[in-house]
Structure 1
Amino acid sequence: MKNNIDNIIEFLHGSNDFVVTSHVSPDGDNIGSTLGMYYSLKKLGKNVYYVLDDSAPLNLNFLVDGVKILKSSEFEQKDYSIIALDCGDKSRICLSDDIRDSAKTIICIDHHASNDAYGDLNYIDANASSTCELVYNLLVEFKNIKGLDLIDENIATALYTGLVTDTGNFAYSSTHPSSFEMAKELLLKGAKRDMIIQQVFQSNPYNYYKLLGEALNTLDIIDGKVASISITKEMLKNNTISFNDVDGITSYTRDIQGVEVGILLKEKKENEVKVSLRSKNYVDVSQIAQSFNGGGHVRAAGCTIYDSVENAKKKVLEAVLKTI
């Protein structure tokens, strides 16, 4: 069942025990949408558990400060439903297979075009700017149906964070008039815009820039249209910075005159490389990512390649150059 918001609202209203979660390698939309749902269910008096087997990046710690986030090994409930937010693939839900497979119901709320509607209940819109926009739409409709206005300052701040990160602070093509309307309403609800901008975009640690300098030395431009940067686990270790804290470097590959596709290769461990893909105008990078069992959006996608950084780069470049 896909995009029946009313059925999801009735399920949320009539059930009591929930796990909220998202995808591996958390980002702003991941954390923002999950927290928006978490706080909303708390306000409804539900038993809700935030389970995520990963850590938030440093620039998003301000959102999760004080929130109890469980690892799968710490979760002991037996009767629950899962709400998977911003997760385009069932296999990327960031908790144990046992917890996922034991859920009574899975609700999927997501905006990835590659999503195959794996939930028992689904709200999927690939045209939405962010999953936070879908959560916002759900809460607006909840108010219309149930007469309860759940959006407060905490929820507004969480949803605004996901909105601005997934739209590149309203610069990406995913930004629509509805995005600005949502932003206005969240600001009226008390979203802490200045704090969000400072924490997310203006608070990179010194070590980030040390790593950036080293990473830029790997910058490779092919045919003037494709650019790549590689980050090894040794580079992360030498600069004392976390794997989850350097995704912002991806934009440096795309933001070069004449470049259509940017590629960031980030080594997590030996023979495991996360690949982030970005495009400007005409290349659908989600199709490239899907060829490596990944996914995402037309202009922003990713995948994991289980090989060396050098071999992963060769494979991805071959696929991108065929598309170009």
Structure 2
Amino acid sequence: MSDHPRLVHLITAGLSLLDKTHGPDSGLEKLKLDEGMIEALRENRTVLYDEEDDNNTRAADYTKRSWEEINALLGAPHGGTNPDHELSAALQELSLRDWPHTMSAELNSLAAYYRSTSPRLRKEDTAVLITSDTAAGLRASLLNALVMTGGDTERVRYLSDTSLDVDQARGMVVVLRLTGLATPSGPDEAAPLFHNAMRTLGALGRNLYQTAKAEPTRFRFHLSGGFKAALPYLLNLAEAMRTVCGRKVVSAHSLHESAFDQQSLPIPLRSLDLDLRRLREDLVGADGTLPAIPGGDPTLNGFLYEETPQGKVALTPFGTALRELVREIPEPEA
């Protein structure tokens, strides 16, 4: 085991890679890709991501097919679906090990941390790609993950629930699908779906806390891409983890996706002054059925929970995440 703390990269995953692969060929030429790689991309674009399928009225079917194909490719259970060999063949033809860090904000962020032009994840580290619940998001994250591992599917894990075990993912890239994040839905469905995504985010934080208790670990949030509406919640998660894991353990950084040869900028994080026992009581009570908490902490009201028009208390989306995070974290010893 290394004498240095283990490092877990938490990377918000977006679509900048698909913007490159599915954009004009002139953009690929500017990235100094050779003609053979550009030709392979031309031939396999719809295998990697079919924008027409994703934008038609059966987009939900394409999203379902996307995660089934990814599961099949990575050898995970896929509900009896036959493996899609077309995707595997396309990925081999594309020589992902040769893709540069300039292909996406995610790759660029990792390379900037390592002060390298290579976006390859070091084998003692772990990367978690926090991914929206869309076909485009899932497919872009798969490509980013495989570039980070040099095309090695054995070093990529795909998860769509809260069973994440980062402790077993050393040297791997974990594609974590936040079910409900950016899922097309009506206004009545959007709120519970987003709460579900935040619940998964909180479970991730709890798992990372347990990893840090088992061995020295540092967590670095790369907040340069991804679903923009989720970025404030990820920043809040970083602050909550800094609170429970320690000030020197958690950091957050941002890097503009076009700043290819620069270092990322640190994002200031607070450590929250929280009484874990009281916090758990408040969050368990904020279920939408209980009266407003008299004398509740005014700094948490509106942040973790809020009053409903009926005068009850309900969790905000981040309150849902934090309740999941602190559910099993012990109070500090006196």
Query: TM-score, normalising length from structure 1?
Result: 0.26
Compare relative contact order (CA 8 Å, sep 6+) and give the higher one, 1 or 2.
2
TM-score by length of 2: 0.25
